[in-house]
Each structure stands twice: as structure tokens, then as C-alpha cells.
Chain A
Amino acid sequence: MIEVERLRKNFEDKKRGTIRAVDDISFACQPGEIFGLLGPNGAGKTTTLRMLATILEPTSGTARINGFDVRSQAQEVRRSIGYLSGSTALYERLTAREMVTYFGSLYGLTASDIASRIKEIFTELDMNEFADSRCDKLSTGQKQRVSIARTIIHRPPVLFFDEPTNGLDIITARTIIRFIRRCRNEGRTVVFSTHIMSEVETLCDRIAIVYRGQIAAIGTLEELRERTGKQAFEQVFLRLIGEEDEEDDLNPDDTTGRNTKQGGDGNLRQTAGGGLTAVSAGQEARR
């Protein structure tokens, strides 16, 4: 359903020259599977998903989504996908119904189809109470439900989620996690990017560890554990990207993940929420 072949993206920066954000990434995922992209901020996850969603054009390589090429059949690809991220916001001056109707029209659904889909989705997501309220009047949780409705109005077989729980409270985040799981159960292909390890452990069938624009490893959680000989996922992650902490070697059986709070060469830090943040060597030196 998704085949990614040597996908690469360079950005030009006046000061820093050519920056390779994604470096020859290849992977594939199947219907009924949640495929996780795990990596620290700036690893290239968002750029990868943006290329798969045809928002960005790859510098080289290609990908096929639902049988369509992202380079030559971009419009067909967009018709096949639902894309939800922290940066896909809502039109604040439209109501929830208008917002979803607008996207239904852009996807080519007929007025009657849109009406029946809205009825179905709004009931299921418990949105009828605020269906005709303007989006700027909605709570974060309500907004997130409108975003979900917008994402699935056209019944996409492929769904991309780019750090969808970023900045959300635990209840809203749980709604999103449940929604993603249901998408998998319905047989959709789901690609889920995050830097929060617990979400990956809970959700993903297979995981690609993305680091500095490359895929460091791909496999199921068990396969990755087996490959590294570590149990705690934080340790698995650090070993796979070659940033293992000295303490890890001293306490190889530590499964709490606490020891990841101090990165080996200062490139990664675990955040309070269990996420990973890239930090520079300079920043690390100041700590």
C-alpha cells in the first residue's frame, strides 16, 4: 500500500548551504498496519510525511501510495490519503460542519454523500452538539475531533499522522490514539510519526527509527529488542542510533529507561513526557 524508495530531500539554506533533511529513506507498509516513524525533533519525520503527502517534492527517489506515484500522480495520492498533524489547523471562521463540508467538496463527494458522511461521523465522534459552532469557539478536544472528521470524510485507505498528540492534554491525546487504532482495525494503512516512545510501544506494529535523515533500523518492537539485546525501549532506541549512554553499559538490565535522561554525547534528551529532543553539543556542554 505504501512503498518508499530511496526518498531524499535537500533544503537550501543561505547560511548553511545544502541541508539533507531526508537521506535515501526506503520502507514499505501494508493495509491493516500501523507503521511508526520514531525519532527526535529534526530527524526528518515530518519532511518524510510531507513528501508522502505531496506537500513537498522529493529531491530524489520516489514513493507509491495506494498504487500512485507521489511525483507523477500527486493529485491521485492526495485523494487516497488522510493527513493529520499538529500543523494542520482548522479555518476558525467556519463552523465544524462547514469545515468538513468544504473538504468533502474538495475530495469530490456529492452534496448528499457529504451530508450522510457528516451525519455518520458527527454522531460517532459525538460532534452534533457543536456542529454549527465556529471553530474558533471550540475547545482543543472539539477541534481535534473536527480535524479527525476532516481527515476521514473521504474514506481514505491511507492515513498519515504527524505527531498528532503534540501539545494535547491526555484525554484528547487518548482520543487520537484510539482513532488511530480503529483505523488499523478497519484495514487502513497508517503511518504514525512521533518522538514519544510510549505511543510507539502502544500503537505501532512495526517501527522505523529515524535519525539524522536516515532510517537507523526497521522492525517490530520485539525484533528491535532482539537486535539490541535491550528491553527498555529507550535503550533500544539509543543503541540503534549509536548514542548509547555509558550508564547503559554499566546497567545493561535497566529496563526503566531512566538512564536515558543523560545522553551519551549530548545529542538526545528524554523529555518529561517520554519524548526525545535533539540538543546540540554546545547546549549539552552548558548543562
Chain B
Amino acid sequence: MTMPQQTFGGSTQPHPGRQSVLWTIFRKEFREIFRDRRTVISVIIGPLIVTPGIFAVMGVAIGKKVEAAKLEVYTVGIVAPQSAPKIADALGKTPGLQIATITAADAEKQIKDRKLSAVAVLPADAEVKIEAGNTVPVQILEDAGSETSRGAAGRIQESLSRFGTQLITRRLRDNNLPADYATPFVVTEKPIEQGGSTAMMILSQMLPYILILSAFTGAIYAAFDQVAGEKERGTLETLLVSPASRRDIVLGKFGAVVGVCLISSMLAIIGFMLPFITHLKVFDFLTQGNIHLQPTAIGVILLVLLPLSVLFAGLLLAVSTFARNQKEAQTYLGSLFPIIAIPSVLSMVIGDNAGMGVALIPILNASIIIKQALNGTYNPTFIIVAFAASAAYAALALLFAMRLFQKESVLIKA
């Protein structure tokens, strides 16, 4: 090994502009972050493959269950069938029902022992009441905790309902009344073209929660790797002896974490939307109805996610700076996680017409706006207040992280 003859540089070198240093640090951090397998899994593979994959598995499982329920033959009991042979006959002819005659005293025990799935208890004067044109009270005994029992009870109800329709038709005919005499209203539902749907409702309930948690969890590894990881591996000291100022270092790292938060949430949106876009059969259980996600809604979601990502990046970077290593950072995360998760869970139960006070609550305000955006019910004042509040919290988090990064006691092992 021979050393090159050199002229000295030192202070005679051209000084890179601050933007150039920031950009250099940002690019390097971003490149390194996405070479970390943990980040690739949590930011890319998780939302784009695992989330739709879980939905697909759920779809297949639910589909199979529905099919199996249709084909299942339930053994049900009838108490006092001799009192209403016509009802017993109607139930007996119902496909998927196997009838057993039992006494009222045995009924509950038989259900409990799983010998019968459900029992229809007919009154002793049932036939008389039918013939007299009166209402017959029928009690269905079921085990509310058993899916099979509820399925059997449902099938008895459907059968009795069909038989009841036949009876009404016959009674109307016997009394020379028109067939629609007992049907004063024919009610139909028609979803408006730009309105919501079941799918949209599910989306507006779940997407805020998923987006917020994705933005946060996606950036955890990246943020913890940035400072705590560097301290642990001994690379932070290498960086601190470079001419980059601590402010530039923290801002460059911070920018990279914000970027990961945003990418993570974007990919979470795409992953969650995949079932609705692809219209695959396995996603039918989730996608009954149309999704109308307007460009304005996407714009509003992005607008809300920006300060939220800055807030998360600031918090995570502060934890990462304070911790001596990544393991310690993970311990602190245990305390931080509920603060993030609880407001996003709350958004699932709070309506999109929340009061202005909610606009000041970080994370929850963003969840509500995402919900509003998905339902197309924008409240510009709420959005402005929430954006301003989130931006203020984000700035505080960033300042806190920067202040912490200046403290040599947390940065350097003495």
C-alpha cells in the first residue's frame, strides 16, 4: 500500500451550500433506509401484498362459510306439531330442514346438547287461529351463541314467512280482495349516483385508522435506525466530524423519515384500495357497492397526511435521538404507541360531523378529515383549523428533535 502524494484541502475547499448538504444527507438516508429489509417489509410488502392478501384469505373463508351454510341441513324440533299440521307440513317441506317432534319440556335441553339446532314452539290452538284468520304466535328457541343454531332459527323464520305470504294471499282471495290489499307500500332503495355505498362506509370507517397507523409504523424502523441505530453502530461519530452542521444532519434525516411516512401511507391507500379496484371475486364480501374517491378527496387526504407525517417523524426521531440504542428506542415506543393508536381508533366511532374542538386534537383531527373526505362532506373551517393545529404540533415535534440533537449528553457516549 502506498499513499498518494496530495495537496492539502481543508478550508480551501469550496463550501457546499446548505441545501446541497441537506440533499446529500437526505439522499443517502433514503437510499440506506430502503436497503433495510425491515423497512422494505413494513413499508412496501406489508401494505401492497400482506393487506390485500389478508382480505383475499378472509374473502375465501367467508365465501366458503356462506356456501357451507346454504347446503347445511339443520335438525330442528317442533313442539305440538299435531296442533298445526299445515305449519308442520310447510316446515317439513323446507329444503335443509329435518324435523323432529319433541315436548316443550325437552326443547331447551335438546338444543343445549346440540341434538337439535333450534325448536319452533307452536301454540295448541294454532290451527284454529289460522282458520279463523288470526295471528299465530310462534316462539323459536335458539342458542344465540351458536352460529348453527342461529342459522337454523333463520331458516325456520324464512319458511314461516313464505307460508305466511301464502296464507295472506289465500285469505285475500277468499274475501275477494286484490292481491296488493295488504301491501300498502312498496318501498325500494336506489343509491344516488354520487352517493356512498356499503363499501364506501367500510372504507371511511377503516381507512383513517389504517392510514395513520401505516404512516407511523412504516417509519418506526427508519427513524430508529437514523440516530439510535447510528449510535449503536458507531457511525454517528463519523458523521459528526464531517462539516455538516447538526441542524443539517437532523433535518436531512428528518426529511427522509417524513418521506418514509408519506410513502408508507400512500402504499397503504393503494393496498387498501386494491380489492375495490380489481373487483376480484375474493374481495366481494368487502366491495359490495361502488367506490367514488374524488380527486379532491385524495388531495385533502394528502394535505392532512403531510403535517401528520412531520409530527410522526419528529416524535420518532426524538425517541431515536434520546435512546442509546434501537432496543431502548423500542421500549420507549411502548409508551408512545397508545398515544398514536387511541385517537385513530376513536375516529372509528366518532362521526364525520365532529365539533371544532376535535380539530385541535392531533391525529384524531386528521382521522376525521380523512373520513369527511371519503364521505364527500368537507368542512373547510374544520380542515383549516385541523391543518394549522397539526402543523403547529409537527413544528413542535421537529423543534424538540432538533433541540435533543444538539445535546451532546444524549448524542455522545461520555
Contact = CB atoms under 8 A, between A and B. Distances in A.
A124 B4 contact: yes
Contacts of B11: 66-68, 76, 79-80
A154 B245 CA distance: 17
Contact of B13 (A12, A50, A93, A109): A109
A89 B233 contact: yes
Contacts of A93: 32, 35-36
Contacts of A110: 14
Contacts of B235: 88-91
Given A158-B10, A175-B1, A186-B6, A55 B28 contact: no
Interface stretch (B197-205, B236-244, B289-297): B236-244
B24 interface: yes
B243 A182 contact: no
Q: Which of B241, B242, B408 has the most CB of A within 10 A?
A: B241
B409 A12 contact: yes
Contacts of A83: 241
A152 B3 CA distance: 10
B234 A89 contact: yes
Given A79-B13, A88-B234, A186 B241 contact: no
Interface stretch (A98-106, A205-213, A218-226): A98-106
A281 interface: no
B4 A120 contact: yes
B21 interface: yes
A87 B8 contact: no
Nearest to B414: A11
B9 interface: yes
A85 B235 CA distance: 11
B6 to A, nearest CB: 5
B2 to A, nearest CB: 6
Contacts, number: 129
B3 A156 contact: no
A28 interface: no
A27 interface: no
Nearest to A155: B9
Contacts of B241: 53-55, 78, 81, 83, 88
Contacts of A21: 414
Interface string A162-190: 00000000000001001100110011100
A98 B2 CA distance: 22
B3 A107 contact: no
Contacts of A152: 6
B19 interface: no
A54 B21 CA distance: 18
Contacts of A107: 9, 13, 16, 242-243
Contacts of A198: none
Contacts of A157: 8-10
A154 B10 CA distance: 7
A125 B10 contact: no
A179 B6 CA distance: 13
Q: Which of A47, A54, A89, A121 has the most CB of B within 10 A?
A: A89
19 contacts: A47-B414, A56-B408, A56-B412, A67-B11, A79-B10, A89-B233, A89-B237, A91-B28, A91-B235, A94-B31, A98-B28, A106-B244, A107-B9, A107-B243, A124-B3, A124-B4, A145-B1, A178-B1, A187-B8
Interface of A: 11-12, 21, 47, 50, 53-57, 66-68, 75-76, 78-81, 83, 85, 87-94, 98, 102-103, 105-110, 120-121, 124-126, 145, 150, 152, 154-158, 175, 178-179, 182-183, 186-188
Given A108-B15, A108-B20, 8 more contacts: A85-B237, A88-B235, A91-B235, A93-B32, A120-B4, A124-B2, A124-B4, A158-B10
